[in-house]
Structure formats: structure tokens, C-alpha cells
Chains A and B, each alone.
Chain A
């Protein structure tokens, strides 16, 4: 098994993600967060969320580098139907992440391991919402 194949195993990624997440908390007292980190882009809480915004800029650069190195980087143009769904979906995501901050990918990778009650509630809501979306998309 080559390095490329090994690194694509879900358990390998989960172990590495966890180690980096804990090391980040240990070394600088911060951890990865998702949705709220983009509040500075709409001029809200710039100072508070500048750090996570920079982290997520790094995430995009990291994925770009990984995709480039593994020759998985391809520009993919969407169809107009996908663009419409992306706009609606993105808009709903924007509401979700801001209405109760910490409700995004964060509760799965950071919030639940932090044992926050709010994160467990968010996961319940996300699963319900994703199921509604799944049924809705399936009907179309």
C-alpha cells in the first residue's frame, strides 16, 4: 500500500486530525472552529474571530497543496442546477452557523470532545436537518 492510499484511509485521517487538534489546544490554547470564523468577513467580531479565520485560510491552502501533490486538483465547473442549490444551501448554512455559533462541523470534531452540552444539541439538530434535506433532495 502506497503512502497516497494509506493517507486516504478514514481512520488514519481521524487519528491525525485528533492529534493536531489536541496539540493545537495544548500549545496555543486554541482549537479548530468552523462557521463563526467567517464573521469578520461580514464586519462582525473581527478581533475575536480573526484567528480562526486565518486558520481556515490555511485549511484551504492545505487542501489545495494536498490535492496538487496527489494530482487530485481539477477545476470543476458546476451546472446551473448545482449553482442554484449551492446558493440556497449556503444561505441556510450561513443562518445555521450564526444563529447558534458552534453549529457546523465544529461539534463533530471539537465541540463533542469538549463535552459541551450545546454541541450535543447541535449534532441532534444537524442530523434532523440533514435527514430533511436528504429526503427533500431525494424527491427531486
Chain B
């Protein structure tokens, strides 16, 4: 793939549109999770539910596939999530939140961005050879529907209902 390919140009333009949207809505998983821990989960549940309902409908219709298949699934997702979760609170932004703040002029977000690289290099060049054989990558990464033995639409509806109930609860809570 070369940089001259139209797909890359399209990708860049999609990125600009995404950037415009996340800047306007002040997207940040880290800030919104902290707000939820402080007792106000409305904001995170609002966007999470809307994104799940609309994006999920589109993806299920077009044919869903699991994202992130390099190390299978299981305990690594939980451990990675914990590293990432602690990291986003300390640095004050998730990946999209950090990219947003970089564009908004926050110099510390550029520091965060550069600091990702040694962490990534540690895993790729030091830990990966050690971890080989400690995980299994299935031929097809399972979807929620595979695990629950229901259709994709039923799994989608189930998660959508759970998120809607949680969001309604958050708005009714004083």
C-alpha cells in the first residue's frame, strides 16, 4: 500500500470528519468514566448507547467482525484493559481524547502520544517473544452471538436493551 492510493486519501478525509466530530462533542472515555465514578454516568451512557444502537445496527446489517485479533481473546483483554484504564486516568485522555487534545493545543497530550511508543515497543520487541504460546488465536474470533448461540440481531437487541435500561436509570437517578 502506498500513500498515493485513493483509499488512504479517503481514510485521511474520514479521519478529518471524525476529528471534527470528536472535537465538537469533547469526546473522552477517560473524563466520562471519571465523571461516572463520581456519581454521574449520564454522559458516557448517552453516547455509548447512541453509538451502539446506530453503529451496531449498521455493522450487524453489513456483517460484523471482531476488532483486534492479534492475540485472540480472553484474559489478555482484561489485563490490557486494566493497563489502559489506569493509563487513561493518569494521562487524562483515551486514544481519541488524546488525539483530540493534540489538535486543540494541549502540549501534554503530545507528551502522552510520544509516551505510547516505548510502551508499545516493550510489548512488541520484548514481551511478544516471551508471551508466544501463552495464548490461542481462533480461526474466527467469536462474536457475542456465537457465545450466546443466538442470531447477531438478537445479540445486538440484548445489548441495546441493557444499555437503554442503564441510561434510563442514570437519567432518573437524582
Contact = CB atoms under 8 A, between A and B. Distances in A.
B80 A125 contact: yes
Contacts of B68: 33, 36, 100-103, 106-107, 111, 116, 118-119, 122
A99 B79 contact: yes
Contacts of A118: 66-69, 72-74, 77, 141
A19 B116 CA distance: 29
A14 interface: yes
B67 A90 contact: no
B123 to A, nearest CB: 4
Interface in B42-74: 43, 46-48, 50-60, 62, 64-74
Nearest to B82: A129
Contact of A90 (B47, B69, B112, B143): B112
B124 A98 contact: yes
Contacts of B8: 50-51, 54
A60 B56 contact: no
Interface in A8-26: 8-22, 24-26
B84 A93 contact: yes
Contact of B19 (A42, A63, A91, A124): A63
B1 A51 contact: yes
B135 to A, nearest CB: 9
Interface residues on A, range: 35 or more
A94 to B, nearest CB: 2
A90 B89 contact: no
A125 B33 contact: no
A113 B59 contact: yes
Given A93-B91, A93-B116, A114-B59, A32 B105 contact: no
The range of chain B's interface size is: 35 or more
B85 A85 contact: no
A59 B102 CA distance: 10
Given A64-B103, A97-B80, A131 B87 contact: no
B78 A128 contact: yes
A89 B167 CA distance: 29
Contacts of B76: 99-100
Contacts of B57: 22
A77 B107 CA distance: 6
Contacts of B80: 95-100, 103, 122, 125
A133 B89 contact: yes
A115 interface: yes
Given A54-B12, A126-B85, A129-B84, A113 B56 contact: yes
Nearest to B101: A63
Contacts of B50: 11, 14-15, 18
A117 B142 contact: yes
A28 B7 contact: yes
Closest 8 CB pairs of A and B: A102-B68, A125-B81, A58-B15, A129-B85, A62-B19, A94-B119, A13-B25, A90-B115
